[in-house]
Amino acid sequence: MPRSTSFAFFCLFLASWPALAKEITIHGFVTDVKSPTNFEIDDYKVTRDNTRSVELEQVGDKTLGSFKPEDIRVGTELEIKGEYDEASGHLRAKSIKVFLADTQTVNRTALLEQIPSLTKDGLGWQGEIRADGQRITVTPTTSIELRPNKSEKKTSGTANEEPASLRLSSVDELNLDTFLHYEGTRQGDGSIKAQKIEFYHGEVESGEAKLWKHFDPKVKDPDYSGFVPGELKMHWKTYKILPNHEAQEYVAKLGESLIPAHQKDLAADDPLKIPFRFYLVQDKSFNAVTYPNGVVVVHSGVFDALQNEAQLAFVLSHEISHAVEKHAWEEHQYHRTELMALRVGGAFVPLGGALASNMLASGIQNQYARSLENQADRVGLEWMLAAGYDIREAPASWKAVSMAKGERPENPFWDSHDNHTTRRSYLMAELRNNYSGVDYSKLKVDSEEFHHVANIVKNVEGGKKNVAPKTEEQIPSH
């Protein structure tokens, strides 16, 4: 994964800037552009003075290219230092750092969302691919190949040879279990123009199968009548299962509705079928986590922060995507490659302990893991919309989490105000770039069940066993 390419340009202050403005640093994605000197990142109204020429700062050995302040558009990732007037929401930029990797230039792997709309003539392939929550455009200059996976190589007797990619001869060679690795550049309309695409059919490698087994859950069901929590043991972590059958069924039913149709429709004995299981556990912190074998754990604290069912649907769809997109396995392989490179370079790095902390798809704070979280957001939006939920509630969920008072989560992805601003602005930019034509009038925001279960959770945490019957009054007006 390439390191972030960044630039810095510095701006002058206006003499009239309020004396009470405070110095802050924010990191986020542009959500609206009024002009090259006036744009927004979430609730921050950013202005910069263009009276000075742009100064570029090179990071590492990367070529800076020709990025200019005029190139800032919705979705551009920025870090801004400046003086902030809280009353007006205006941020006067003193310096701006622009990150291009994974936003302007992309190098990613994702599962196909639908069979590509591609045609081929004498010049090459052209058309569009929907994957990764993105519109990927293919032109005759795009290099497209089909790489055999390990099982296919073994069948052909070339298992010990380097992978030999072949030119894609027909779209019929692709299915919804196909992954693609693509490289390209984001265009002004939010689409990605691909320079290179490599398809390969999905499989469960032996190492991944062992990873699934490593996190095989040991479950002791709650005593619902006795109001005694159950136990969910996930290797080194043990959770207390909330002892209310109605609440457990609600979370499981909502989670099942968000699993992508193709994955849900796979035969039970298909090795690619992920046996998703959803558990609501007693923990007042806001958190949700997915294990590679489809075990999704939701903390009861989410009901203290989230405001409606669509927001919970986003949290669940984000977590489900980690399993479907094989993030735990991808990150395992990524870190193994990096650690092996260190060994080749002469450094001694024990693989076992270093990799153990990277098994989970969520919660690793590095550039590669951040890219996976971005993908989980993008793909989660797709599945949330497919299930009929208002995707505008996805960024709204981050607002709700940032305003909630409660215990801090163990997962850094769901933690910190700065991260909330970054994640919220990322989703807002995705909505602007990829969902401008959505008709929101028929999409679902809330349900009576959500507020009924939130009441159940509140009573359980307060030590009460009985919950009043659900009523329409439990749904707040919008």
Q: Dump pLDDT digits (tens) for 285-320.
A: 889 999 999 999 999 999 999 999 999 999 999 999
pLDDT at 436: 87
Rounded to the nearest 10 degrees, the angle between the axes of helix 367-386 and helix 327-344 is: 170
What is the pLDDT of the chain when averaged over all its residues? 82
pLDDT at 122: 85
Q: What is the number of alpha carbons within 13 Å of residue 138 lying toward its C-beta?
A: 23
Question: Which runs of E-coded beta strand occur in 30-102?
Answer: 32-35, 38-41, 44-47, 77-85, 90-99
At 213, list the tokens. 């087994």
Residue 111's φ and ψ, nearest 5 degrees, are -85, 140
Q: Average pLDDT for residues 260-272, to the nearest whole number?
A: 95
Residue 296's φ and ψ, nearest 5 degrees, are -110, 120
* Contact criterion met (CB below 8 Å) for 276 and 297: no
Q: Please give the angle made by the CA atoms of 416, 295 and 369, to the nearest 5 degrees.
A: 40
Strand order, beta sheet including 237-241? 218-220, 230-234, 237-241, 277-281, 295-299, 288-290
Q: Dump pLDDT digits (tens) for 160-212.
A: 555 555 888 999 999 999 999 999 998 888 899 999 999 999 999 999 999 99
In the predicted structure, residue 379 carries a pLDDT above the cut 90: yes
In the predicted structure, residue 8 carries a pLDDT above the cut 70: no
> How far is it, in rounded angstroms, from Cα 404 to Cα 382?
26
The secondary structure of 366-378, three-state, reads CHHHHHHHHHHHH
Q: Domains of the chain, with CATH numbers?
A: 6-101 (2.40.50), 106-203 (no CATH), 208-474 (no CATH)
* One-letter amino acid for residue 168 of the chain: L
Backbone conformation region of residue 448, classed left if phi is above 0, alpha if psi is from -120 to 50, else beta: alpha
pLDDT at 69: 78
* Contact criterion met (CB below 8 Å) for 17 and 92: yes
In the predicted structure, residue 146 carries a pLDDT above the cut 70: yes
Which of 72-76, 158-162, 196-200, 434-438 is modeled with the greatest confidence? 196-200
> How far is it, in rounded angstroms, from Cα 252 to Cα 249?
5
| Residues with Cβ within 8 Å of residue 245, at least 6 apart in sequence | 222, 224
Please provide the size of the chain in residues. 478
Residue 130 bridge partners (DSSP): 135
In the predicted structure, residue 1 carries a pLDDT above the cut 70: no
Q: State the first-to-last Cα distance of the chain, in angstroms, to the nearest integer.
A: 42
**434 compared with 103, residue with greater pLDDT:** 434
In the predicted structure, residue 362 carries a pLDDT above the cut 70: no
Q: pLDDT category, 473, cuts 50, 70, 90?
A: very low
Percent of the chain's residues with pLDDT above 90: 56
Percent of the chain's residues with pLDDT above 70: 77
> How far is it, in rounded angstroms, from Cα 460 to Cα 37?
52
147 class by beta-carbon count within 10 Å (0-12 exposed, 13-18 middle, 19+ buried): middle
* Contact criterion met (CB below 8 Å) for 126 and 118: yes
pLDDT at 354: 35
Q: Dump pLDDT digits (tens) for 39-49.
A: 999 999 999 87
